[in-house]
Structure 1
Amino acid sequence: MKRFAILATAIVLVVVAWSGAWLYAAGEIRRTIDAQAAADGISSPRLTCGTLEVAGFPFRFDVTCLEASAQIEDMTVDLAEWRATVLVYRPTHLLAFGRGPARITDAFTGSSSELSWEELEASVRLSGWRIARASLTADTIAWSDTLVGQSLIGSASHLEAHLIDMPDAHEPERGVSALAAYVRLEDVSAPGFDVAGGEATLEAELTGIPDDVRAFGDPDLLPRWQQAGGALNLVGFRAQAGEQFFQSTGSLQLSDAGLANGRFDVESRGILEEIGDMLPPDMRQLILGNPDADGTYSQSIGLTNGVIFSGMLPIGMIPALF
């Protein structure tokens, strides 16, 4: 009987301790999210929830934010609901879900748009504090201009996007890592450009980034990336609809002064005919190049200390990024 009493007491103490730890962690999660409501929306995003719930006891943390609003400088995104789930025994793996539509407004330009979807899911898995994999998938996506009425800008039947750690590029002694990116859009339509049934894929590599996700909110992230010799390598981007296509490869780095340096090679077919009226005649050849025998346009766009070159001719300027 005495042994049973001891065992029962031990179980009660474990349950009480576990419950206390869970309640403390849930409170910290709530306080962290609530603190984002006090952010200035410039140096860090300002996030508010009409209703915030933290549930899932005893083995999960289920965070639900209803009537969510996020402000980043002049842009505000309002979302009906987002949810995030983390298992207690797997704290480095987060699952998130969003219920749309998302309403996007820009106070500077006065623009207003809406993004809708079905089955939006996201996940982030860490290795220590380094991103091991981050993924986003969604179906039946539609982006509409809602400034006056509602006008469809573009849609896609499916989106998938992934960021994957590149272990061979991890340099723990320097605190830097690299990510490979892959994005795919299926059944793309854009009525304004007479595009239907298209698809687009992007493959890129981002090197020299911090190997600690807690540093991603650092206001000096871009200078830190530049000092680490970071680069954005566009392995390949291709968008195609029927005989029309646009594709590009290239790379980008920043100078000590935050000015862009790099080079991008572009090829296209049928694009000039669709957007020709949107470009001044003297700019069309500079941006898209000259056609070959089968109607494919080719051009090389260079960046030197922020100056954009078409071949050897300067055609624009990108201001310093920091």
Structure 2
Amino acid sequence: MASSSRADASGVTRKLILLAIAIVIAGALYTGGWFYAASWLKDRVTQELAASGQGARSASCSNLSVRGFPFRIGVFCDSLGIDDHESGLSATFGALRSAAQVYRPGHAVMELDGPAQVRVTPDRVLDMDWDLLHASAVAWTDGLDRASVAYDGLKGRFNAPSEGLSIGFAAAHGEKHVRRSGTALDVAASLDALALDLGGKALPVLNVAADVTIADAAGWISTEGPPPGLPRGTSAELRSLSLDLGGGNRMTLSGPVSVDEEGLVSGSLNLAVEGVTAWRDRISEQFPEAAVTVRRVAGIVRGLSGGRDSATVQVNIRRGTVILGLFPVGRIPPL
């Protein structure tokens, strides 16, 4: 009996030793594989960055490193730069941190630090900063499948002295989501507590949200990229574009819209307004030079809704001309 017990114990010990050896070997192979993949990824990114410097569009990543062992792998940069020599656009950003799970390398999450500056010749400059910006993306060999960006504490200013423009902006929170939907592209975005400053004139704080499907645009986030001349030649279904002043005063647009090759907008939109009087007064106060037009439009909206302060009316846009009911009320310049 004792001999049998010792034999059983010896067998268990051997199995434990073999298991431990297998674990050590597997760990060593995994560690070697991770560092091999990290080295390959760093070399590949370095090569792509170097190659981009020879083309019309280039990118830079200072102090490039690959980190995340043992369960993640990602690219880190102390600063990020982008140059498009054809369009005259260049941009600089703060530190980039990215990571993907080893078992799911096509799904990456990222954080990007500010400040950022985007410059477009001859004198357009966009300066931005934020408290937190993080993003996620799912990609395949032919490009992105979907991506999301969210940020807190956004603030910045766009200046174009030659055009007499200076626009300041701030938002407590914002999000943007894009995804392929067959051949179309779904885009959703929102801004909470958006504050705009137009040349020193502060506009009312708004909550803004948009949800749109752009026809035949899935390729925009693939390796082929967006076509030149956007937004010309595009058509979309605007599910919702809402502006919310708070206090129940909200304006929502929905319906099909298109931009022709000349940049002229056409569409057939439903406009729902809660608080026609509040919108009329607020816009007239901020833009007194447009007060007469705003009051006229508000009067037409109330007239079409039987005098109610909440209205749903049809807005038709024909090659840039905005028609409310039977009355032309404005003009959208070519985009």
TM-score, normalization by structure 2: 0.67
Deviations 1:216-268 (A, max 9, x none): 42647979x97xxx742111111122466543223234668887543345567
The match for 2:6 is none
Coordinate RMSD, CA, aligned:
4.3
| 2:286 equivalent to 1:274 | yes
Unmatched segments (≥5 aa) in structure 1: 171-175
Kept in 2, the 8 Å contact 1:142–1:152? The answer is: no
Cross-structure match for 2:129: 116
% identical equivalent positions: 18
Distance 1:35 1:294, change over 3 A: farther
Q: How many residues align?
A: 292
2:172 is matched with which residue?
Answer: 157
In 1: Cα distance, 2:264 partner to 2:126 partner: 31
Q: Which amino acid in the other structure matches residue 236 of structure 2?
A: L
1:32 paired with 2:48, answer yes
Q: Deviations over 1:23-70 (max 9, x none)?
A: 2233112322333333314xxxx3223332233355433212223222
What is the CA–CA distance in structure 1 between the aligned matches of 2:320 and 2:114, rounded to whole Å? 38
Amino acid at match of 2:102: V
User: What's 2:10 paired with?
Assistant: none
Q: Secondary structure at the match of 2:287?
A: helix
91-100 vs 52-61, which deviates more?
52-61
> Which residue of 85, 89, 93 maps to 2:99?
85
Identify if the C-alpha distance between structure 1 residues 143 and 299 changes in structure 2 by more than 3 Å, giving closer, same or farther.
Answer: farther
Is residue 2:28 matched to residue 1:20? no
Q: Greater helix percent: which structure?
A: 2
Match of 1:140 in 2: 153
**Paired residue for 2:320?**
308
- For residues 134-161 of structure 1, give each alpha carbon's deviation from its aligned partner in whole angstroms, at most 9, with x where no partner exists: 221111111235789xx88121111122
Which residue, 101, 107, 111 being the options, matches 2:121?
Answer: 107
Matched residue type, 2:131: E
Kept after mapping to 2: 8 A contact 1:301/1:308: no
Partner SS state of residue 200, structure 1: strand
Q: 2:111 aligns with which of 58, 75, 97?
A: 97
Q: Which has the greater radius of gyration?
A: 2
Q: Which amino acid aligns with 1:112?
A: V
Question: Do the aligned partners of 2:264 and 2:320 also contact (CA within 8 Å) in 1?
Answer: no
> Would the aligned equivalents of 2:268 and 2:314 in 1 still touch at CA under 8 Å?
no
1:1-322 matches, within 5 Å, as: 16=32, 19-41=35-57, 46-57=58-69, 59-72=71-84, 73-108=87-122, 110-126=123-139, 133-144=146-157, 153-164=168-179, 166=181, 170=182, 176-179=183-186, 181-191=187-197, 192-210=200-218, 213-217=221-225, 219=227, 231-242=235-246, 245-253=250-258, 261-266=266-271, 269=279, 270-277=282-289, 290-292=300-302, 293=307, 300-303=315-318, 307-311=319-323, 315=331, 318=334
Inter-CA distance 290–141: structure 2 relative to 1 (3 Å threshold): same
Say if 1:165 and 1:144 are closer, same or farther in 2 by CA, change over 3 A: same
Give 1 or 2: higher strand fraction.
1
